[in-house]
Amino acid sequence: MTDRSVPPAATDAAPVPVSVVGPQGPIRLKWHKLRTRFAEAPFKLSNLALGWQGGASLEIDILASADHHFVVAHDATLGPSTTGHGHVASLPIAAMKNLFHRDRHGSPDPDAPLLTLADLVAPLRALQRPPETHLQLDLKLPRGHAPSEARIADIATAVAGLERAIVVSSYYLDAARRIVSAMPGTRLGYDPMRAASRDPGLARDPERLLRHLERCREAVWIVYLQFELVVAAEAQGFPLVRRLLDLGIATDAWTVNPGPKLTDTVLRRLVTAKVRQITTDAPIEIARRIAEL
């Protein structure tokens, strides 16, 4: 497997890849939390601009504030991943000004301010975007809480004019559907892992998981599966990812990062499964590893 855009050894000056060529064709490398390197802070503005103009698949997480706005953050509580404190859902936007996300060493990054969705994406309207660029909004909701009409309106207003580049995803498929229906041109993604946590048989039996996804497939463009689940299905001889492709649904395998679990055997099984996208915090390293297989 080779990708001419990937250097033999990644350095800090290496270009950040947006895809790599595997045995089943190109695989998109989605920049998880906009990260291009494992140790950096999430949601960096420079990475957003770089990926948007470079044709990348990008992912951000959004949580609702107390006054119905959406904030770009991963965790329900601001600390310790940002310089703030408190639960996002209980704070108004005004209480979250002048905060920054921290890198993996705990240092605040001035290039990663805590912003509303509207403020984060506003500069993108002035930038050129290749048609393959996608920005995934991963919707984080408190358990059992559907998004209010005011919150849906906040998202729709925030991304107005950018809809064709937007993918809305969630564990909560009905909530994501409501948001997509309010924003014509956006695409729908579904992560079934909450359903699998409630019914562990879904995670153990890829045929059962496929049937679950068949029942949920209306308008779903992409499914997000934990990468170990994809690898396990391949090891069992069940072509889960290929069967989803037969239904017109691509698979994103998350979150694939360097570490003891990511052996060459695991990575080889993953890329031969026909996943169309890999979520990673380290796209340079993962592209190099795939190219070397």
**Domain boundaries in the chain?**
27-277
For residue 141, what pLDDT is reported?
A: 86
Q: Helix, strand, or coil here: 12?
A: coil
| Of the candidate ranges 8-12, 140-144, 147-151, 228-232, the one whose mean pLDDT is the lowest | 8-12
> Residue 77 and residue 277: Cα distance in Å, rounded?
29
Percent of the chain with pLDDT over 70: 95
241-269: pLDDT as tens digits: 999 999 999 999 999 999 999 999 999 99
Query: To the nearest whole number, what is the mean pLDDT of the chain?
Result: 93
Cα separation of 96 and 65, whole Å?
A: 9
Q: What is the CATH number of domain 27-277?
A: 3.20.20.190
Mean pLDDT for the stretch of residues 280-285: 98
pLDDT for the residue 144: 59
Residue 193 has pLDDT above 50, yes or no: yes
- Residue 181: enclosing H or E segment and its boundaries? helix 173-181
Closest CA to 21 of 42, 46, 2, 40: 2
**DSSP annotation of 22:** E
What's the pLDDT tens digit per position in 92-149? Answer: 999 999 999 999 999 999 999 999 999 999 999 999 999 999 999 999 987 657 889 9
